[in-house]
Every structure is written in structure tokens, then in C-alpha cells.
């Protein structure tokens, strides 16, 4: 490896070059933070020589072989970022900032599934970007109510939204320093998947954050539900602290990384439903944010938005437990339970509780379980994607997609790894990640769930070295890059991709062959319109929001 140095306002960073990609890892973007402390700007100067050759620690989180970021060093002091580029001497390159997913409870920038190096290697030789991947605090460390404890908690402000506060601080560092790495601070694209995509939705509505980016790529994650009330969050935090035997703020602050690494796993699952959701804190996440986006608050941001065709089909069949979910009612029960965990929160895009609408939609087809999974997928991510496409297309160029590629399930079953797959052959949550980042030889999203599954050395011999079609990977990477570079995803490898508008509703279906479809979901939308009209005529639905016109936003 050859050392490379970059001098910036906050330090001279010493990275390295490997396989023609320059890497700068574990860069602090704020001063070291104590538990639940508001991040502060760096005090380092250009004269400070800073090693940037290894990943920093990941945020404290449950340890799981399904979450590769959790297997290394973990600490509350985790606010670092990584940078990859082919040549930092060339200037004016598009900047792509990736925000990792993980339900706001796990994940990190050391995850090899989403390594920026793999993305850049897919681009043509004459194309380059500055790839940035950030850490932020997750779980109870990124979203907590400390006022439930005894003692003076007044100094711990904004603890309900530290995950968003951290992200804004990272974007501020990028804006001020990225030109030294060859990036254009005025051409920054945020892209992220699942919780990372949800974060972009919040950042689009934030006054400061919008100063730091001009494009967004939202993958499988719009906050249709999971916006917890303050009351629900307080109940969760009180229960968690009680379970840990913590009564006062002083007792909480006396705990160190070792304590949390030892005890967090034991209590996490008991309170996971309340630890993970984002809270409507009124400052960083407002209950008015959807209306604000509809009314053009983010009009300067061009958008690419979509998800997979079977996001929540994982509830159909799970090889870890074949009896996991067998009926439509079980799927809906899970949906309602998730909403209840959030305190029956303000879900402005989702018509929760209308059992009669769900029942008629499910009974309108032969496969009731599939249609129930359609509802869950729509509520979890797809419906929000459609709404954001509708809203943002009125103000700026917006492109909508449906990711449909999924590897062969038979091959997966031979790996011997625990995995899940869609009985209907649709792409599950996370399916695009090993394609987009060229990481199929080391990791696999195992047909979706919320986790990524590692193919160990003993498994690699039983499957092809690359489980991702190279042509598809190149198409995806160049398309994402083209949008980041120009605000238009079109390139010579794909058919023409027209912007979304409410009349044509153009959606690019992404598989080994790409297919642009107009209003592909008209049957579902018309069905829901009819059900809504009938129920209103019967006066059985009162004081409800307009029912979703597209329950299954990615139905093939």
C-alpha cells in the first residue's frame, strides 16, 4: 500500500492507495463525544497529522453475526467517516455520501457490504466520485429520553434526535473539507438504504442540512410508520433503565463502553420496538414535515426514490423457522403491533386501523397471504416512496424505481446459511446492496430481511465466487453515479428513464433487463379508490385521511 496525504482545514489525513482506489478511513468529523453529548466541531488544524488507515469503532449495538458492523470494536465515541476516491488530485467531482441502514438500532460504516471501494471499481475508468460513508449513533444512544431518570438532566438537550444531529454534523464536515479530496461541495448527493433512506427524508426537511446537499437517492425507506410519540419513548426508556438497575442520571453517566457491551444485548430485544423508532421531537423531526415537503420545502433537491418489489415478503417464508408467518392475519397483526409499539403515533402517510379496507383488498385476490404482504410492504417503505415521488416531482426532477432482481433461491438454500426468500420470486429488503457495491463475493442480503448474512470460508466453495451479475452491477453503479453527477440517471447502459409525474407515473423496473413502465400499478390504485368510495358512502370511515391509492406500490 502506498501512503497518500490530504491537507484539509481540520487536519492532514494520511490514508493509502490500494487497487487504484485511495482510502481514508476512520476520520473524526467532530470532537470525541461522551454519552448523549451534543457533537462539537473539531479543534484540530491543518498542521495536525492524522492517521486515516483503519476504520473507527462502530456505535454500541447488539452483537450479531448477521450484522457485520457489530463484530468489531464498538464504542459510544464512534463519530467517524470514511472516504474513497480514485484520484484526489482531480477536482470538481460529485460527492456521494452514504447513510447506512439498520433500523436505527445497528449498522455502521465498517460494513463490507456497502464499501465505497467496490462501488467505484464498477465505474468506467474515466469516471470518478468522492464516496463518503458516515457513522452516527444508533439505538438508545442515538434516541433516548433521559428525563425519566432522577437528577438534573437539563444539559442533555436534543437526545431524542442525536442520530439526526450527528448526520448533520457529518454533512457540515463534508461541506467544509471535501474539496481537498477532489470533491465539489456544491454537488453532494445523499444516498442511503432503509434507515439511511429515512434519514434523507428528515434531512430534506431540515433547514441547515439542505445547505449541504442538492440531490437525494432514497432506497427502501420512507418514514411511513415508526415515528414514535414522546410518551411511548419515555415508557421504553424508563423500562430499559429499570431493567439495567439505573435510577439516576449520575448512575447512567457512570457507565462506560464495557458496561454497555456486556449488558446491552441482554435487554435490547426486550425493548427493541421502542428503542429503534424515531421520535417526533418537534425540532429535528416535526409532525408537519410531510406537509412541508408536499408544499415545496425541499424544492431545490432532485430525487431518485424507490425500493424492492417484495420488501416484506420475508414474512412468507423463513428457513430459520418455516412456520414463521403463515396467514394474512398474522401479517396484519405484526403490522398493528409495530404501530402500537410506537404509541399509535402520528402516521401521516399511512391509513392504520381501517380493518375493513384491508379485508376487502386481501379478499380481492386468490393469494391472501401475498396480498397481506403487499400491505405490509406498502406501509413499511413502498407507499412512502410513491408519495415522495408524487410530492417532489411537482418541484424538481424526480425518478422512481422498483428493484426486482433477486438471486436464485435454490442456490441460496445450498449454502447452508440461515436465509429467507420470497415465495413469489420478488426482491426483498436489502437486495440491491451487494449489487450496487459489488460485494456479492463476501456478503449477501439473504433475500432480504433486515440483516445481511456472511458467507464464511466454508460456504464460499459451494457457490459461485460472484453471485451478482456483473452487467447488472455496472448498470446500477453507473446509474446511481450519473444521477449524482448531473441529477439525471440516464446513461448509455440503460433504456431511457423518464422523470416521474402523476399522469404518466414512470417507474423503472430494475432486473438483469431494465424496463420503464407507465402507471404499472393502476389496478391496485383503482381497487383502493373503489373501496374507499364505498366505505365513505356507507359512512363507515369518518375523519380519516385520504386512503392510500396504492397499497402495493411495487406489485409486478
pLDDT tens readout for residues 236-285: 999 999 999 999 999 999 999 999 999 988 888 788 767 777 888 889 99
Residues belonging to the chain: 556
Is 554 within the bounds of a domain?
no
Residue 543 lies in a domain: no
Q: Is 546 inside a domain boundary?
A: no
Give the residue numbers spanning the domain of 324.
2-537
For the chain, what is the domain count?
Answer: 1
Above 50 in pLDDT, residue 524?
A: yes
Q: Domain for residue 474, yes or no?
A: yes
What grid cell was written down for 355? 380493518
Which residues sit opposite 49 in a β-bridge? 12
Tens of pLDDT, residue by residue over 285-323, are: 988 888 999 999 999 999 999 999 988 886 554 434 445
Q: Which residues contact 317 (CB under 8 A, 6 or more apart)?
A: 324, 420, 421, 422, 423
pLDDT at residue 20 tops 80: yes
Q: Three-state SS for 323?
A: coil
Write the pLDDT tens digit of every residue in 55-70.
999 999 998 877 888 8
pLDDT higher for 47 or 458? Answer: 47
**Is the distance from CB of 70 to CB of 58 less than 8 angstroms?**
yes
Alpha carbons 84 and 124: distance in angstroms, whole number? 16
* pLDDT tens, residue by residue, 101-156: 998 999 999 999 899 999 999 999 999 999 999 999 999 999 999 999 999 999 88
Is residue 267 a part of any domain in this protein?
A: yes
Compute the mean pLDDT over every residue in the chain, rounded to the nearest whole number.
Answer: 85
CATH number at residue 269: 3.40.50.1820
In a domain, 401, yes or no: yes
In a domain, 213, yes or no: yes
Is 158 part of a structural domain of the chain? yes
Render pLDDT for 188-237 as a digit per residue (tens, 0 to 9): 999 999 999 999 999 999 999 999 999 999 999 876 555 788 888 899 99
**DSSP of 444-506, one letter per residue?**
E-TTSSS--EE--HHHHTTS-S--S-HHHHHHHHHHHHHHHHHS----TTS---PPP-TTT-E
Amino acid at each position: 500500500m502506498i501512503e497518500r496525504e490530504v491537507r484539509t482545514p481540520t487536519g492532514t489525513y494520511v490514508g493509502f492507495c490500494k487497487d487504484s482506489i485511495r482510502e481514508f478511513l476512520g476520520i473524526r468529523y467532530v470532537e470525541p463525544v461522551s454519552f448523549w453529548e451534543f457533537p462539537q466541531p473539531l479543534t484540530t488544524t491543518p498542521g495536525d497529522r492524522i492517521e486515516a488507515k483503519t476504520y473507527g469503532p462502530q456505535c454500541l449495538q447488539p452483537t450479531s453475526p448477521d450484522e457485520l458492523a457489530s463484530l468489531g470494536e464498538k464504542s459510544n465515541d464512534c463519530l467517524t467517516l470514511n472516504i474513497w476516491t480514485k484520484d484526489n488530485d482531480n477536482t470538481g467531482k460529485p460527492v456521494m455520501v452514504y447513510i447506512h441502514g439498520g433500523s436505527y438500532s445497528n449498522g455502521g460504516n465498517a460494513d463490507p457490504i456497502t464499501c465505497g471501494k467496490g462501488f467505484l471499481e464498477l465505474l468506467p475508468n474515466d469516471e470518478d466520485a468522492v464516496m463518503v460513508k458516515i457513522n452516527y449513533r444508533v439505538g438508545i444512544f442515538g434516541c433516548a429520553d433521559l428525563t425519566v431518570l432522577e437528577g438534573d438532566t437539563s444539559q442533555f438537550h436534543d437526545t431524542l434526535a442525536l442520530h439526526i444531529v450527528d448526520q448533520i454534523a457529518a454533512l457540515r464536515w463534508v461541506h467544509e473539507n471535501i474539496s481537498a479530496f477532489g470533491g465539489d461541495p456544491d454537488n453532494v448527493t445523499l444516498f442511503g438504504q432503509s434507515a439511511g433512506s429515512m434519514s434523507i427524508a428528515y434531512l430534506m426537511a431540515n433547514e441547515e442540512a439542505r445547505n449541504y446537499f442538492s440531490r437525494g437517492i432514497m432506497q427502501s425507506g420512507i418514514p411511513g410508520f415508526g415515528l414514535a410519540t414522546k410518551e411511548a419513548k419515555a415508557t421504553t426508556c424508563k423500562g430499559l433503565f429499570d431493567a439495567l438497575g439505573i435510577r439516576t442520571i449520575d448512575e447512567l453517566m457512570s457507565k462506560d463502553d464495557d458496561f454497555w457491551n456486556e449488558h446491552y444485548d441482554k435487554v435490547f430485544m426486550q425493548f427493541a420496538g421502542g428503542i429503534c423508532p424515531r421520535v417526533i421531537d418537534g425540532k429535528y423531526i416535526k409532525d408537519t414535515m410531510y406537509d412541508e415537503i408536499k408544499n415545496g420545502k425541499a424544492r431545490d433537491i432532485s430525487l431518485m426514490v424507490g425500493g424492492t418489489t417484495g420488501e416484506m415478503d420475508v414474512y412468507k417464508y423463513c428457513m430459520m423457522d418455516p412456520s414463521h408467518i403463515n396467514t394474512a392475519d398474522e401479517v396484519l397483526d405484526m403490522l398493528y403491533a409495530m404501530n402500537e409499539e410506537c404509541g399509535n403515533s402520528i402516521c401521516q402517510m399511512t391509513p392504520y386501523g381501517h380493518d375493513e379496507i384491508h379485508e376487502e383488498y386481501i379478499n380481492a385476490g386468490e393469494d391472501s397471504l401475498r396480498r397481506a404482504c403487499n400491505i405490509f410492504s406498502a406501509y413499511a417503505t413502498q407507499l412512502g416512496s410513491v408519495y415522495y415521488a408524487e410530492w417532489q416531482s411537482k418541484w424538481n426532477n424526480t425518478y422512481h424505481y422498483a428493484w426486482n432482481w433477486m438471486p436464485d433461491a435454490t442456490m441460496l438454500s445450498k449454502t447452508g446459511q440461515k436465509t429467507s426468500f420470497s415465495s413469489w420470486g420478488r426482491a426483498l429488503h436489502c437486495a440491491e446492496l451487494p449489487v450496487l457495491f459489488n460485494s456479492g463475493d463476501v456478503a449477501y442480503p439473504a433475500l432480504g430481511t433486515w440483516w445481511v448474512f456472511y458467507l464464511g470460508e466454508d460456504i464460499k466453495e459451494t457457490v459461485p465466487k460472484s453471485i451478482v451479475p456483473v452487467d447488472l452491477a455496472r448498470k446500477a453503479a453507473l446509474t446511481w453515479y450519473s444521477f449524482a453527477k448531473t441529477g439525471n440517471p440516464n446513461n448509455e447502459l440503460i433504456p431511457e428513464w423518464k422523470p416521474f409525474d402523476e399522469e404518466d407515473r414512470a417507474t423503472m423496473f430494475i432486473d438483469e433487463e431494465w424496463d420503464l413502465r407507465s402507471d404499472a400499478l393502476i389496478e391496485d390504485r383503482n381497487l383502493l379508490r373503489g373501496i374507499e368510495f364505498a366505505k365513505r358512502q356507507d359512512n363507515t370511515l369518518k375523519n380519516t385521511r385520504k386512503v392510500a391509492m396504492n397499497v402495493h406500490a411495487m406489485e409486478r
